[in-house]
């Protein structure tokens, strides 16, 4: 069966779930949503910037519009989606969130541009008054709002849910870039277990329309005690330079290796956020699987970063054995901060390598070729060069 035929069958099945009055009954909603997900995964949309929520909304609109037509073709259905995509206007929103940075640090961040978005400083006193009029804040919550430093990002989105999602993603991206600079190659000593992240998630995210009118808000799932961080001038320069270098790589949708790097940084950030070290340990290992996905026994390629040090090669084997014990035997109490420090040091090297080569290469396949050839000595590399040169000469 062709892909088009599969989608046509899914469309028919989705339409069959509508009752005679044109609505979906409770028992049909779950199956309908499953079909939406499958169609969104299979159909090609006219723009790469459309997120999953927008895709499903466009598909649902098409199904609602075409549900009374029998035997809808793939072309007719796709044409309606493309028309809907062209008509779906985007509105201007702003999202306000906190960063546990000093006011000076946040002002420094307002000077940079990331993915065509800039961070703006928010007057804390004015914002607290605005929010306290809207909400009944208990004492603890008001104290958080009063001592936190707030900032905002302005963006365009098709609806308020997407706007909150985009704003949250932007805040997490900023946070992950800062935390990577501050945490990279750093060894932690602390007890009892607590998050390693210096910059923690915002307690709350507020959504406003173009006229600065409150629309809605979203509380973070996890609450972190607010502890303001004042990054030193030396480290802050590193942060600013790193963000500028990442932005200079170009658009993520075109630069696939950059996108993989940023997704890996988000996972790195998730690992730093947790006080459950066994969770952090597994999340850090998942970065290896993302960046080196198609290579069997990918831990061997991590050893390329420590070619001159046999002890570190043995250490990677030991860390991988601990990973297997955790995943396959559930030995969660065997993971401690020492394990996390050592694995983080290895992942720091891997992420730095990916970032450096992203300046010259854009495709994940190129990275895969690079890392598979990293272990070759000069003689082996020269032999490969000679063979490739020979093939090139003979081909032309």
User: pLDDT at position 94, please?
Assistant: 93
**pLDDT score, position 197:** 93
Burial class (CB in 10 A: 0-12, 13-18, 19+), 332: middle
Measure the CA–CA gap between 286 and 228, rounded to whole angstroms: 30
DSSP class per residue in 294-350: TSTTTHHHHGGGGTT-HHHHHHHHHHHHHHHHHHHH--GGG--HHHHHHHHHHHHHH
For residue 250, give Cα distances in angstroms to 103, 116, 119, 167, 370: 29, 10, 19, 20, 21
pLDDT at 220: 79
CA distance 13 to 34: 11
Instruction: Please give the pLDDT value at position 137.
Output: 64
Question: Consecutive sets of 10 residues in the chain, 396 residues long: mean pLDDT of each?
Answer: 83 85 80 88 67 78 79 80 69 91 93 88 84 70 79 88 89 95 91 90 90 86 82 95 90 76 94 92 92 72 78 88 83 84 93 90 81 79 84 77
Task: Specify whether the CB–CB gap between 175 and 269 falls below 8 A.
Answer: yes
How many whole angstroms separate alpha carbon 5 and alpha carbon 9?
6
Please tell me the predicted confidence (pLDDT) of residue 251: 67
Structure confidence at residue 139 (pLDDT)? 66
The closest alpha carbon to 37, from 65, 60, 64, 70, belongs to 60
Under a CB-based contact definition with an 8 Å cutoff, are residues 383 and 320 in contact? Answer: no
Query: In the prediction, which pLDDT does 231 show?
Result: 95
303: its two tokens: 């050893």
DSSP 89-132: --EEEEEEEEESB-HHHHHHHTT-EETTEEEEE--HHHHHHHHH
Q: What's the pLDDT at 313? A: 85
């Amino acid at each position: 069966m062709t892909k088009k035929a599969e989608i046509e069958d899914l469309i028919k099945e989705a339409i069959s779930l509508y009752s005679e009055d044109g609505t979906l009954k409770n028992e049909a909603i779950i199956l309908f949503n499953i079909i939406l997900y499958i169609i969104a995964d299979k159909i090609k949309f006219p723009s790469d910037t459309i997120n999953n929520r927008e895709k499903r909304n466009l598909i649902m609109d098409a199904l609602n519009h075409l549900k009374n037509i029998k035997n809808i073709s793939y072309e007719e259905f796709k044409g309606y989606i493309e028309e809907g995509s062209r008509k779906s206007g985007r509105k201007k929103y702003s999202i306000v969130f906190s960063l546990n940075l000093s006011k000076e640090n946040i002002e420094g961040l307002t000077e940079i541009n990331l993915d065509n978005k800039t961070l703006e400083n928010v007057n804390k006193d004015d914002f607290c008054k605005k929010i306290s009029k809207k909400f009944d804040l208990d004492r603890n919550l008001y104290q958080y709002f009063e001592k936190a430093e707030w900032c905002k990002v302005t963006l365009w989105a098709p609806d308020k849910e997407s706007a909150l999602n985009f704003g949250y993603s932007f805040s997490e991206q900023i946070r992950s870039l800062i935390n990577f600079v501050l945490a990279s190659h750093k060894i932690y000593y602390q007890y009892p277990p607590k998050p390693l992240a210096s910059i923690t998630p915002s307690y709350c995210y507020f959504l406003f329309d173009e006229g600065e009118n409150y629309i809605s808000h979203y509380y973070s799932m996890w609450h972190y005690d607010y502890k303001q961080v004042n990054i030193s001038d030396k480290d802050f320069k590193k942060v600013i330079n790193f963000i500028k270098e990442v932005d200079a790589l170009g658009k993520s949708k075109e630069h696939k290796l950059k996108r993989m790097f940023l997704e890996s940084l988000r996972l790195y950030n998730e690992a730093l956020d947790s006080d459950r070290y066994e969770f952090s340990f597994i999340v850090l290992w998942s970065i290896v699987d993302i960046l080196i996905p198609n290579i069997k026994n990918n831990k061997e390629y991590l050893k390329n970063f420590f070619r001159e040090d046999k002890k570190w090669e043995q250490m990677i084997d030991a860390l991988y054995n601990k990973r297997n014990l955790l995943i396959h035997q559930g030995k969660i109490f065997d993971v401690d901060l020492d394990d996390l420090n050592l694995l983080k040091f290895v992942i720091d090297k891997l992420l730095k390598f990916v970032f450096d080569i992203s300046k010259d290469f854009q495709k994940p396949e190129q990275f895969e070729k690079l890392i598979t050839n990293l272990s070759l000595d000069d003689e082996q590399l020269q032999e490969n060069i000679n063979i490739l040169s020979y093939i090139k000469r003979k081909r032309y």
